A and B are shown apart, each in its own frame.
Chain A
C-alpha cells in the first residue's frame, strides 16, 4: 500500500509539474510561431510551416535523448527535468502553432476585413476582434495539448526522471508484483486525463453553440 502512496505523493507531482511547465513553454513558443505563419510575407509563412513540421515530426523520446545526452556531452548541464520540459515544450510548440494558425483562420478573413474597414489598426484588430474569439476557439485544443503532454511525460522515464512510469517500474523491479502497479498507473493517468477530457467536451459544446449561432447567417 505504501508503494501506491509513494506513487501518488512523489511521482504524481513530477508528472503534473512537467506537463504544466512544458505546456506553458509550448503555448508561448507555439503562439509566436503560429502568428508568424499568418504573416503577409510568403517566405515567413513557408518557414513557419517548415519549422512546425520539423518540430512535430521529431519523436519526443529522441528529442529528450538529444537534449539530455547530446547537449550535455558538450558541457551544458541539464537536469532530467529541464531536458524533458524543453523537449516536450518545443515539440508541442509545433502542434500549438498549427492550432493557433488554424484558429485564426477559423475566426476568418472577413473579420480582418471588417475590422480594417472600421479603421482599426492591426494591433487593435488583434486585441479587440481576433483574440477574444481566438480564446474560445483555442480552449479545447489547449486543454487537449495538456492531456497530450500529461501522457507524454511518461517517456521521461527513459532519462531517469522519477515520474509515474519510472517510479512504477522501479517498484515493479523490486517487488516483481507487476499487475497491481500497472493497474495503479493506468488508473492514475485516467484520473488525470478524464476530468480534462470532460472539460474539453464542455468547452467544445459551448464554443460550438456560440459559433454556429453567430456564423449561421453568413452561410445562408
Chain B
C-alpha cells in the first residue's frame, strides 16, 4: 500500500504541474478572447469567433490525438514533447470554452456602465480594466471553478499519449497488481481531493449565501452544463 502511494504521488506531481500550467495559460488566453469576442471591430470578432467555434467543437481526446499522432513528428522538430502538447491541447480547448462563458458575462453588463465610463473620458481598455472586469469578478467565480475542474479532468487524458501523470501511473499499477477496483478507487479519491476543496472554496468565496439565502434557495448561481 505504501508502495502504491509513492508511485501514485510521482504521477500526481506531473498531474498538478499539468493542471497549474494549463490553468494559468487558459485564463490568460480566455479573458482577452472574451474581450475580442465583443470587440467593436467586425474582423476581430469574426477571428476570435472562428477560433472559439473550432476548438470548442473538437473533443479534447481528438485534439490530443491530432496533435500527438498527427502533427507530433513535425512539432517534435520544434522541441515540443508530449507534456507540452497536452498543455497546448487543454489550453486551446478550455480557453475557447471559458471565453464563450466570459463573453456572456461581459454582455450581461448594462450598456450604461460602458457609457458612463466613456463619458468620464476613459478609453475602452480603461473602462474594461477599471469598471467592467472588477464587477464581473464574483459572477465569474463559479464558472472559473468549473473551468478548473474541467482542466483537472482533462489532464487525465494525458495518459492516452503516455504522459506519466496520475492516470497513467494508475494504469501501470493496475497491470502490476491486477487489482483494478482498489487502484482506480484510490486514484478517484485523489482526484476528488483536488477538486472538492476547490469547489467548496469557490462557493465560500462567493460569500455568505447560506447565511443570507432564503428558505428554498441556498446555493451558487446557475452553472451551465457544458463540457470541456
Interface residues of chain A, those whose CB is within 8 Å of chain B, are: 37-38, 40, 45, 49, 53-54, 56-63, 65-66, 69-74, 92, 95-96, 98-99, 101-103, 105-106, 109, 112, 141-142, 144-145, 147-155, 157-158, 164-165, 168-169, 172, 178-179, 182, 185-186, 189-190, 193-194, 197
Pick out which of these stretches binds chain A: B38-46, B84-92, B128-136, B183-191.
B183-191
Question: In the docked arrangement, what's the CA distance between A7 and B183, Å?
Answer: 34
Please give the distance in Å from B132's CB to the nearest CB on chain A. Answer: 20
The reply to whether A189 and B62 contact each other, CB–CB distance below 8 Å, is yes
The reply to whether B181 and A109 contact each other, CB–CB distance below 8 Å, is no
Q: Which of A38, A56, A95, A155 lies at the interface centre, i.e. has the most chain B CB atoms within 10 A of its CB?
A: A56
The reply to whether A147 and B226 contact each other, CB–CB distance below 8 Å, is yes
The reply to whether B69 and A169 contact each other, CB–CB distance below 8 Å, is yes
Check A59/B226 contact, CB under 8 A, given A40-B215, A40-B216, A186-B58. no
Q: Select B219's contact among A37, A152, A169, beta carbons within 8 Å.
A: A37
Q: Does B217 contact A (CB under 8 A)?
A: yes
Please give the distance in Å from A163's CB to the nearest CB on chain B. Answer: 10
Q: Select B224's contact among A49, A58, A141, A153, beta carbons within 8 Å.
A: A141
Residues of B within 8 A of A112 (CB): 216
Q: Does B99 contact A (CB under 8 A)?
A: no
Please give the distance in Å from B59's CB to the nearest CB on chain A. Answer: 4
Residue of B nearest to A164 (CB): B62
Question: In the docked arrangement, what's the CA distance between A54 and B214, Å?
Answer: 25
In addition to A103-B222, A168-B65, 18 A-B residue pairs with Cβ atoms within 8 Å of each other are: A57-B191, A57-B196, A58-B191, A62-B156, A62-B170, A62-B184, A66-B184, A69-B174, A72-B180, A98-B223, A98-B225, A112-B216, A147-B226, A152-B59, A154-B62, A169-B65, A185-B66, A190-B58
Please give the distance in Å from B211's CB to the nearest CB on chain A. Answer: 12
The reply to whether B153 and A66 contact each other, CB–CB distance below 8 Å, is no
Please give the distance in Å from B189's CB to the nearest CB on chain A. Answer: 10
Bitwise interface map of B from 11 to 24 toward A, beta carbon under 8 Å scored 1, else 0? 00000000000000
The reply to whether B225 and A96 contact each other, CB–CB distance below 8 Å, is yes
- Contact residues of B between 151 and 167, Cβ < 8 Å to A: 152-157, 159-160, 167
Question: In the docked arrangement, what's the CA distance between A185 and B170, Å?
Answer: 29
Residues of B within 8 A of A158 (CB): 160
Q: Does B82 contact A (CB under 8 A)?
A: no
- Contact residues of B between 174 and 209, Cβ < 8 Å to A: 174, 178-181, 184-185, 187-188, 191-192, 194-196, 199-200, 203
Q: Does B149 contact A (CB under 8 A)?
A: yes
Residue of A nearest to B156 (CB): A59
Residues of B within 8 A of A40 (CB): 215-216
Question: In the docked arrangement, what's the CA distance between A203 and B179, Å?
Answer: 47
The reply to whether A102 and B223 contact each other, CB–CB distance below 8 Å, is yes
The reply to whether A70 and B180 contact each other, CB–CB distance below 8 Å, is yes
Interface residues of chain B, those whose CB is within 8 Å of chain A, are: 53-54, 56-62, 65-66, 69-70, 149, 152-157, 159-160, 167, 170-171, 174, 178-181, 184-185, 187-188, 191-192, 194-196, 199-200, 203, 214-228
Residue of B nearest to A98 (CB): B223
Question: In the docked arrangement, what's the CA distance between A186 and B228, Å?
Answer: 16
Residues of A within 8 A of B178 (CB): 73
The reply to whether A189 and B224 contact each other, CB–CB distance below 8 Å, is no
The reply to whether B184 and A197 contact each other, CB–CB distance below 8 Å, is no
**13 pairs across A/B with beta carbons < 8 Å?**
A37-B219, A53-B195, A57-B195, A62-B156, A62-B167, A66-B184, A95-B225, A102-B221, A102-B223, A151-B227, A158-B160, A179-B70, A193-B56
Question: In the docked arrangement, what's the CA distance between A19 and B174, Å?
Answer: 28
The reply to whether B191 and A186 contact each other, CB–CB distance below 8 Å, is no
Q: Select A59's contact among B153, B218, B219, beta carbons within 8 Å.
A: B153
Residues of B within 8 A of A109 (CB): 214-217
